């Protein structure tokens, strides 16, 4: 029987097929397209993907390749786009942490890692990643003091300190002081300074865990020097002053200062928390290490990743005999910092202004001008955006109640979730039903990336039209 197609009929019609025109069954090119999907071994020979293997490891690259191949098999992308799609699925680094743009208006956002490191500190970390002279004197070839140049830089920044030491975070600095100076003894502290430092960690629990006993004095809102003096005795390890860095009590209040307590015959330890080393004109109410030591504190503890603008670490500054005793305590070994932290800390102390310092002193008029330019650029793409005034905060347990005049981009609320989950995550905040992208903590050189992230969301498959979930 002649099976040749009749003119005007398809080959399928000639074989008796009843498939309608446009039915997938009538498309032999679907199978052909699947056959054109590149093999895994061929894709891994692509110079771009082989370079990614060197950077990220083979397993992660293979997983991205398989994902891209599956998309092509499902008809989501043409076979020719498999290599580029695999590349787009790869992260920037082998680590799991993703860089984000902090547009929350909180300069030291704990959930975003607090202080961003300066370019100088990042370069110092890269150079310190290999073998270094962290504990070796290259001239003599013998062991040397660990992190000596970083400690010297810290000492130079706080002239009132007799000596300095660094541990792995601010809480560790206080734990080391309590363990070395007051284990089995009493720490005298005001009831108004028994604070919670975040994520459920409470100062009383932290101190008691060291084997010290707490002797509370005064009341929540008023504690005088006489209250401390009344309980000082042979069992007193030290008097502790804690700066309430994440809240403020106003009204009928009173507190004793280090100068009022320095003559009690026991060390006065002051936890300033935020890591300000010297007075700052933008933060007149924030205590600094140098001033506290000059006022009579025997020891000051602080964090390095807050207002100092450096890496996470704990700073101990004060009397030489006390600091040396802490540095030689057995617990100090468990709390010591690594070479990368030392490198970043030294570069922070000796290098140019940190991103935190620049954000603190940013000109509100310049921020407003940036917001205006960005809004005009994005509005040209039909995006519902406007430049608005904003109020930023320090965050990270520093300068409670202090607001910093800022400027922001205001977008529809659904942008918040879409921007967070974009290829370049942008974290803003929700306010009055709008997503605000505050520029105070966004370096000006990131404006282009910020605009591209917003455009990418707006020009996505459906745009940010679905209602966003609640913002935390």
- Please state whether 288 falls in left (phi above 0), alpha (psi between -120 and 50) or beta: beta
Query: What per-residue confidence (pLDDT) applies to 15?
Result: 37
CA-to-CA distance for 70 and 8, rounded, in angstroms? 37
Q: What is the sign, positive or negative, of the torsion defined by CA atoms of 8, 14, 20, 25? A: negative
Question: Measured between alpha carbons, how far is 96 from 255 in angstroms, rounded to an integer?
Answer: 45
Integer angstrom CA distances of residue 103 from 12, 100, 188, 454: 59, 9, 41, 12
Give the model's pLDDT for residue 30: 59
Radius of gyration of the chain (CA): 30
What is the structure's pLDDT at 115?
96
Count CA atoms closer than 13 A to 189's CA, side-chain side: 26
401's enclosing H/E stretch is: strand 398-412
What separation, in Å, do the N-terminal and C-terminal C-alpha atoms of the chain show?
Answer: 73
User: Distance between CA 86 and CA 281 in Å, rounded?
Assistant: 50
- The two tokens of residue 142 are 């013998």
**Of 14, 325, 279, whose CA–CA distance to 158 is shortest?**
279
Q: DSSP labels for 176-187?
A: HHHHHHHTTSEE
Please give the pLDDT value at position 461.
Answer: 63
Closest residue by Cα to residue 444 from 64, 101, 73: 101
pLDDT (0 to 100) of residue 465: 55
pLDDT by 10s per residue, the chain, length 472: 444 444 444 433 433 444 444 444 445 465 677 889 999 999 999 999 999 999 999 999 999 999 999 999 999 999 999 999 999 899 888 888 899 999 999 999 999 999 999 999 999 999 999 999 999 999 999 999 999 999 999 999 999 999 999 999 999 999 999 999 999 999 999 998 888 776 677 888 999 999 999 999 998 888 999 999 999 999 999 999 998 765 667 777 788 899 999 999 999 999 998 889 999 998 988 999 999 999 999 999 999 999 999 999 999 999 999 999 999 999 999 999 999 999 999 999 999 999 999 999 999 999 999 999 999 999 999 999 999 999 999 987 677 778 999 999 999 999 999 999 998 999 999 999 999 999 999 999 999 999 999 999 998 765 675 443 333 3
pLDDT of residue 169: 94
pLDDT given at position 31 = 67
Query: Helices H, strands E: what count in the chain?
Result: 20, 15
pLDDT at 33: 75
Four-residue CA torsion sign, 203, 204, 210, 215? positive
Write the DSSP symbol of residue 5. Answer: P
């Amino acid at each position: 029987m002649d099976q040749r197609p009749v003119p005007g009929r398809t080959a399928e019609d000639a074989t008796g097929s009843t498939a309608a025109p446009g039915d997938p069954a009538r498309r032999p090119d679907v199978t052909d397209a699947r056959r054109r999907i590149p093999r895994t071994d061929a894709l891994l020979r692509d110079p771009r993907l082989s370079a990614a293997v060197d950077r990220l490891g083979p397993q992660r690259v293979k997983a991205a390749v398989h994902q891209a191949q599956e998309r092509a098999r499902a008809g989501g992308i043409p076979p020719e786009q498999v290599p580029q799609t695999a590349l787009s699925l790869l992260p920037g680094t082998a680590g799991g942490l993703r860089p984000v743009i902090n547009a929350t208006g909180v300069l030291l956002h704990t959930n975003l890692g607090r202080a961003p490191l300066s370019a100088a500190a990042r370069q110092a970390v890269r150079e310190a990643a290999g073998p270094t002279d962290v504990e070796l004197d290259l001239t003599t070839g013998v062991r040397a003091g660990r992190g000596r140049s970083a400690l010297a830089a810290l000492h130079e920044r706080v002239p009132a300190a007799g000596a300095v030491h660094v541990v792995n975070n601010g809480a560790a600095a206080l734990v080391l002081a309590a363990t070395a100076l007051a284990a089995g003894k009493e720490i005298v502290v005001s009831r108004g300074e028994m604070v919670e430092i975040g994520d459920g960690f409470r100062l009383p629990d932290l101190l008691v865990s060291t084997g010290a006993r707490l002797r509370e004095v005064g009341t929540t809102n008023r504690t005088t020097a006489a209250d401390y003096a009344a309980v000082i005795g042979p069992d007193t390890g030290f008097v502790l002053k804690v700066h309430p860095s994440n809240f403020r009590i106003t009204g009928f209040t009173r507190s004793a200062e280090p100068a009022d307590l320095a003559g009690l015959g026991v060390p006065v330890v002051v936890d300033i928390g935020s890591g300000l080393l010297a007075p700052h004109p933008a933060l007149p109410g924030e205590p600094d290490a140098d001033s506290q030591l000059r006022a009579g504190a025997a020891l000051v503890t602080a964090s390095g990743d807050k207002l100092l603008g450096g890496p996470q670490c704990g700073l101990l500054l004060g009397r030489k005999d006390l600091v040396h005793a802490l540095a030689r305590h057995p617990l100090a070994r468990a709390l010591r910092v690594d070479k990368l932290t030392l490198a970043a800390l030294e570069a922070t102390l000796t290098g140019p202004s940190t991103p935190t310092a620049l954000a603190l002193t940013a000109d509100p008029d310049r921020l407003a001008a940036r917001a205006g330019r960005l809004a005009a650029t994005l509005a040209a793409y039909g995006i519902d955006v406007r430049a608005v005034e904003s109020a930023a905060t320090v965050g990270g347990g520093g300068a409670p109640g202090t607001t910093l005049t800022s400027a922001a981009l205001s977008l529809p609320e659904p942008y918040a979730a879409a921007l967070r989950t974009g290829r370049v995550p942008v974290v803003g905040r929700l306010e009055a039903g709008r997503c605000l992208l505050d520029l105070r903590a966004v370096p000006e050189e990131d404006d282009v990336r910020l605009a591209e992230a917003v455009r990418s969301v707006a020009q996505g498959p459906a745009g940010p039209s679905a209602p966003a979930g609640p913002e935390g």
